[in-house]
Amino acid sequence: MKYLDEYRDPALARRLLEELRRTAGRPWRIMEVCGGQTHTLVRQGIDELLPAGMRMIHGPGCPVCVTPLETLDRAMAIAARPGVIFTSFGDMLRVPGSETDLLSLRARGADVRVVYAPMDAVRLAAANPDREVVFLAVGFETTAPANATAVLHAARLGLTNFSMLVSHVLVPPAMTALLEDPDCEVQAFLAAGHVCAVMGWTEYEPIAARYRVPIVVTGFEPLDLLEGVLMAVRQLEGGRFEVENQYVRAVRRSGNTDAQEAVRKVFQVTDRSWRGIGALPDSGLELADAYAGFDAARRFDVGGLRPVEDPECIAGAILTGARLPTDCPAYGTRCTPRHPLGAPMVSSEGTCAAFHAAGRTASARSTP
Amino acid sequence: MTIECPTPRHEEEVVLLGHGAGGRLTEELLDTLVLPAVGETEGPLEDAALLPGRPDLVMSTDSFVVSPLFFPGGDIGSLAVHGTINDLAMRGARPLALSVSLIIEEGLPLSELRAVMASLGKAAQDAGVPVITGDTKVVGRGAADRLFINTTGVGQRHAPMCPSAANARPGDVVLLSGPIGLHGTTVLSTREGLGFEGDIASDSRPLHRLVHALAPLGAAVHVLRDPTRGGLAASLNEIARDSSVAVEIEESAVPVPQAVASACDLLGLDPLVVANEGCMVAFVEPEAAEEALTAMRSVPEGAQSVRIGEVLHEGPLGRATLRTLVGARRIVEMPLGEQLPRIC
């Protein structure tokens, strides 16, 4: 896997930064949609080496952060049931619900397990026919194909003890919602390379044209991001508003059609509430009627949930890029990775967690 | 998809896995519950302690609960020997003797126990350290996970060498004896069947000969640390805190094997916080840095030693910082806890 070194070369990074400084004539505002990109930007300090006045706005692309509180509370109610093996990617275990989190439930005896792929949960269900195995299926278009494949596999095996609590979200509706906001400062987007590896970028072309914003499909290594920013700035300086692909080694315009087909077969588009942002029409995926038998929300009646957000957390403003973590009075004091008030401080892709991991404070910025 | 250290939110009454993970949660448990109960000693918490009244002797104890018992590059038996030898070595000591205590779950195949004990015996013999006492307990099925091992060691200091986490000084050069992240990613990959096992192996090995090679430098060696749980990030933070200095490392100088980088990318882990069991960080006086590097490279376990940073004359005291690949500077946070449970 030699490619990593090539995309982390310090000398090339410096050359790209110099080129960016020569190219940028105005203090542009560019949003990286994806939380993975936010982490690379912040961990490397790239966002603080940009030309004077230019700013990266950290977007809502952290699937952990935007999973609705009601879904989390439902997950915990299901996980607390006797006989249930509750499975999830590790990030979701620490996200605070209204009352508790999955790890605390596990410490008290709930059978909560970290898996690395949804197929692991299917295998668990096959190996434990007397237990109900539930998988918490969250994420953007990136994780939907693997989750769809897991459902198809469970159906082929005839498993009746496997289900999914689904809270998938879609990127283009979120970008559209941000651009419709009259206060939106975003002048260009870096689109998430792994989302586009699945979906391609045809969905982004009407957005770029309608809202006159450059969109650059970008990878996740330091040099990917620097090149993505440079391509966006070149478009802005040249008055072009197109979709360009920086991530040529992984993304085609049409995406992965097999993966799209699996998603279309198993899921259907639905309205979705985004934590910290609110309800967005047609911005989520739910299990299609043909696979409703695998829907954990239908299978487990957990009664009336009354989710209560921590009133101090400004996750919504963070997720839309309107505020920085360091603008939040609770950041680093009442809200830390040890005691998170909201999801952006928990997830490895959360903007607050990224800032905290890099030791950022309102007064101590990274310095070149 | 990543694995993160457990952190409670509203509930504080029970022990979580994260409390044993070597990060902030472990610190909290020690500071608020364990140390007050046993009577706090002066000075920082070190890998090993000088015996009261006998500062030429060093003592350390460590329990090993790794799962799985066998992994590429090692097993719980050899790890139990190496871990305690290394804790002694980090105080500048050569190991004199070990004790070995076994806690065995009923039902463990004797063949597995035999293999672990053979490996443990060979590791002790190869290191030239006798096992002079021990204990065996068997508990019912479910009361322990297969096999837990405790080893306690006593060592003799190479005077005048007296490294301590509180001895780092401005100007010190930071040296690292080899690549990081191998042990943690190997154990995780083996346990979860992630498929990296073919490319990587644990770096589990004894480091007392590496320390012996540094002995002629005497008091010029200020700090030695083997970055186990919590990885390099935890070690650098502990040293910066205990010495009240500003430590800075260069990201491009830290050796991360390709397979470790790939596994960490896949899992969303930072190689800086992944555990090691066979590499060492040394803080030495700047005038002695080249000699120290040559000495470390003279033994196999230090053949890949490199300079990774320094202690700044001006900077945030008690903090570790990192110069990133693109030339920015950022804080290296103390990990909340190791993301990989039961790796040692």
Average pLDDT over residues A74-102: 91
Specify which of A133-137, A303-307, B262-266, B325-329 reaches the highest per-range mean pLDDT. Answer: A133-137
Q: Are strands B74-75 and B70-71 parallel, antiparallel or unpaired?
A: antiparallel
Question: Which pLDDT belongs to residue A353?
Answer: 86
Q: Are strands B281-284 and B329-332 parallel, antiparallel or unpaired?
A: unpaired
The distance of A203 to chain B (nearest Cα, Å) reads 25
Question: Quick one: closest CA in A to B273, which residue?
Answer: A357
Specify which of A85-99, A110-124, B110-124 reaches the highest per-range mean pLDDT. Answer: B110-124
Q: Which residues in chain B are closer than 8 Å to A364, comparing Cβ atoms?
A: 316, 331
pLDDT tens digits, B54-106: 989 999 999 999 999 999 999 999 999 999 999 999 999 999 999 999 999 99
- State whether B330 and A45 contact (CB < 8 Å): yes
Residues in chain A: 368
Between CA A74 and CA A67 the distance in angstroms is 12
pTM above 0.95, yes or no: no
Q: Which residues in chain A are closer than 8 Å to B319, comparing Cβ atoms?
A: 359
E strand spans, A140-214: 162-169, 188-192
Question: Which pLDDT belongs to residue B344?
Answer: 65
Q: Which residues in chain A are closer than 8 Å to B339, comparing Cβ atoms?
A: 90
Question: Number of residue pairs across A and B with CB atoms under 8 Å?
Answer: 137
- Report the residue from B9, B192, B331 with minimal CB separation from A358: B331
Average pLDDT over residues A309-336: 86
Beta bridge partners of residue A111, listed in sequence order = A85
Interface test with chain B among A8, A76, A355, by most B beta carbons within 10 Å: A8
pLDDT tens digits, A119-146: 999 999 999 999 999 999 999 999 999 9
Average pLDDT over residues A198-211: 97
Q: Which residues in chain A are closer than 8 Å to B259, comparing Cβ atoms?
A: 1
Q: Which residues in chain B are closer than 8 Å to A313, comparing Cβ atoms?
A: none
Q: Residue B113 above 90 pLDDT?
A: yes
Average pLDDT over residues A68-77: 93
- Beta carbons within 10 angstroms of residue A26's beta carbon: 12
Question: Quick one: closest CA in A to B262, which residue?
Answer: A1
Question: Per-residue confidence at A365, pLDDT binned at 50, 70, 90?
Answer: very low
DSSP B70-135: EETTEEHHHHHHHHHHHHHHTTTEEEEEEEEEEEEETT--HHHHHHHHHHHHHHHHHHT--EEEEE
- State whether A45 and B326 contact (CB < 8 Å): yes
Provide the terminal-to-terminal Cα distance of chain B, rounded to the nearest Å. 23
Nearest-5° Cα angle at B38, B35 to B40: 55
Question: Quick one: closest CA in A to B260, which residue?
Answer: A1
Phi first, then psi: give them for residue A269, nearest 5 degrees. -70, 140
The distance of A88 to chain B (nearest Cα, Å) reads 9
B25 touches chain A (CB under 8 A): yes
Nearest to B173 by CA among B280, B310, B321, B290: B310
The fraction of chain A above a pLDDT of 90, given in percent, is 63
Query: Which is more confidently placed, B262 or B52?
Result: B52
Q: Residue A311 above 90 pLDDT?
A: no
Question: Which pLDDT belongs to residue B342?
Answer: 66
Question: Which pLDDT belongs to residue B4?
Answer: 36
Asked whether the beta carbons of A217 and A251 are under 8 A apart, the reply is yes
Beta bridge partners of residue B250, listed in sequence order = B323
Question: Per-residue confidence at B23, pLDDT binned at 50, 70, 90?
Answer: confident
- Report the residue from A4, A94, A340 with minimal CB separation from B258: A4
The distance of A2 to chain B (nearest Cα, Å) reads 7
Q: Residue A14 above 80 pLDDT?
A: yes
Residues 293-322 of B with CB under 8 A from A: 316, 319, 321
Between CA A86 and CA A132 the distance in angstroms is 8
Beta bridge partners of residue B176, listed in sequence order = B281, B306
Average pLDDT over residues B161-177: 97
Question: Which pLDDT belongs to residue A211?
Answer: 97
Question: Which pLDDT belongs to residue A8?
Answer: 77
- Backbone Cα Rg of chain B: 19
B265 touches chain A (CB under 8 A): yes
Q: Which of A327-341, B107-121, B137-151 has the lowest mean pLDDT?
A: A327-341
The distance of B339 to chain A (nearest Cα, Å) reads 9
Question: Which pLDDT belongs to residue B291?
Answer: 98
Q: Residue B8 above 70 pLDDT?
A: no
pLDDT tens digits, A38-56: 989 988 989 888 998 899 9
Nearest-5° Cα angle at B83, B69 to B42: 135
Question: Per-residue confidence at B333, pLDDT binned at 50, 70, 90?
Answer: confident
Q: Which of A235-244, B72-81, B261-270 has the lowest mean pLDDT?
A: B261-270
Question: Which pLDDT belongs to residue B12?
Answer: 53
- State whether B17 and A107 contact (CB < 8 Å): yes
Q: Report helix angle A118-127 to A144-157, nearest 10.
A: 20
Helix, strand, coil: what percent of chain A each, to 5? 45, 20, 35
Interface test with chain B among A104, A227, A365, by most B beta carbons within 10 Å: A104
The distance of A180 to chain B (nearest Cα, Å) reads 31
The fraction of chain A above a pLDDT of 70, given in percent, is 96
Element spanning A204, H or E: helix A204-211
Going by the DSSP 8-state scheme, the letter that residue A366 receives in this structure is -
- State whether B328 and A13 contact (CB < 8 Å): no
Asked whether the beta carbons of B124 and B97 are under 8 A apart, the reply is no
Q: Which residues in chain B are closer than 8 Å to A108, comparing Cβ atoms?
A: 11, 14
Between CA A121 and CA A164 the distance in angstroms is 10
Residues 143-202 of B with CB under 8 A from A: 192, 194
- Report the residue from B316, B327, B339 with minimal CB separation from A368: B327
Nearest-5° Cα angle at A195, A189 to A198: 135
Mean pLDDT computed over every residue of chain B:
91
Between CA B281 and CA B90 the distance in angstroms is 9
- State whether A94 and B259 contact (CB < 8 Å): no
